Amino acid sequence: MTSNPPSNSHKRIVLTGGGSAGHVSVNLALIPALREQGWSIDYIGSETGIEKELIEGLPGVSYHAIATGKLRRYFSLRNFSDPFRVLKGVDQSRRLIRRLKPSVVFSKGGFVSVPVVLGAWMNRVPSLIHESDYSPGLANRLALPFAEALCTTFPETAASVKTGKAVQVGSVVRPELKSGDAALGLELLGFDGVKPVLLAAGGSLGSRALNANLRRNLDALLKRFDVVHLCGRGGLDPQLEGLAGYRQFEYVNERMADVLAAANLVFSRAGSNAIFEYLALGKPMLLCPLGRNQSRGDQILNADSFVRAGYALSIDEDNWSDERFIAKLDELHSKRSRYISRMRQAESGDPLERLLEKIEASAG
């Protein structure tokens, strides 16, 4: 564990974002670089979300929990109580930011971030918002009027935002993911490396449908691949423990770089942070985006963009076919060198450095 850099009261930043690992990953990439630059770092998140699990206890970061409510597009009895939790979170954020006196707030989005951006605006502290998806999410759209800028990943996103606040920085990937060791990953998984390794991931919160579709086809898959399955919280199947060529985890954190290094192909949802990590690592993808009946359609747009660019194939969950699933994986594997070549021609420059420069400029 490295020692904390000297604190500078004029370089204090508040980070926020949560609800899923995707709303934390950019912050995880920023934290080591911010510490190296001498920033004092505070993180405002929810009381029970995955951001607390991932952030609390990191060296050089102070975690502060606030009340929050989910921003739903469907009917729920909690829609009546959650607005009061949001208002409580706004007041908690306002008082926290007044006490902490940060130079800038950086928000990765998710429902916990809205009260924090509002609290910063009430204290006249500039906020930056980061949007990873092709189209801005509801939380970021609500927070944008109170923020200084929206940092985007897809260039099409910046072009579609009419406020003049959008600036494209590109995909920010945790540097440590690029230092994985495939041999250590195979050792962790218990695979011998004879078969190609398929990584299946439904996101940090898991996906019942994706998990079920994968497991229903395990007999066919295990003839072709060794399978590592990240099935999300509560998604483990005890009956599959010990099955040759199959390993399941709820979530992998510290050893994720090695697991990714060992993987040859990926079957995944199309959350932007995850797919840009696979892109940076040159992992051909079969993407199964959440349908419009389960989301606002952002993952469909993400997947379509990656298919057009030649980085991935996609499969429609609403018109699922087991035969099509196996055929697409076979196609992806047989043409993997073509997909890897296209990935190597992707984005140049350093998005993390561009984002750090934007943070420094906003902090004055």
- Of residues 19 and 341, more confidence is placed in 341
Gap between the Cα atoms of 103 and 14, Å rounded: 8
Mean confidence (pLDDT) of the chain:
88
Which of 173, 128, 170 minimizes the C-alpha distance to 358? 128
The alpha carbon dihedral of 257, 261, 266, 270 has a sign of positive
Q: Is the pLDDT of residue 303 over 90?
A: yes
Which pLDDT score is estimated for 3?
A: 38
Residue 60: predicted pLDDT: 92
The pLDDT confidence band at residue 22, using thresholds 50, 70 and 90, is confident
Burial of 48 (C-beta count, 10 Å sphere; 0-12/13-18/19+) = exposed
**What is the rounded average pLDDT of the residues 280-287?**
96
The shares of helix, strand and coil residues in the chain, as percent rounded to the nearest 5, are 45, 15, 40
Structural contact between residues 202 and 231, judged by C-beta atoms closer than 8 angstroms: yes
How would you label 207-244 residue by residue, b for 16+ Cβ within 10 Å and e otherwise? bebbbebbbebeeebbebbbbbbbbbeebbeeeeeeee
Tens of pLDDT, residue by residue over 46-86, are 998 889 989 998 999 999 999 986 655 555 555 556 677 88
Classified as helix, coil or strand, 249 is strand
Mean pLDDT over residues 226-247, rounded?
Answer: 94
Ranges 64-73, 202-211, 339-348, most confident: 339-348
Domains of the chain, CATH where assigned:
12-171+349-363 (3.40.50.2000), 178-344 (3.40.50.2000)
Residues in the chain, how many? 364
**Residue 122 and residue 114: Cα distance in Å, rounded?**
12
Whether residue 291 is predicted with pLDDT greater than 90 in this model: the reply is no
DSSP string computed for 61-108: EEEEEE------SS--THHHHHHHHHHHHHHHHHHHHHHH--SEEEE-
pLDDT confidence of 347, banded at 50, 70, 90?
A: low
Model's pTM, two decimal places?
A: 0.76
pLDDT at 63: 96
Which pLDDT tens digit goes with each residue over 178-190? 899 999 999 999 9
> What's the rounded mean pLDDT across residues 340-364?
88
CA 167 to chain centre: 19
Tell me what pLDDT residue 57 has: 87
pLDDT > 80? residue 10 = no
Whole-number Å distance between alpha carbons of 321 and 327: 10
Pairing of the two strands 127-131 and 149-152: parallel
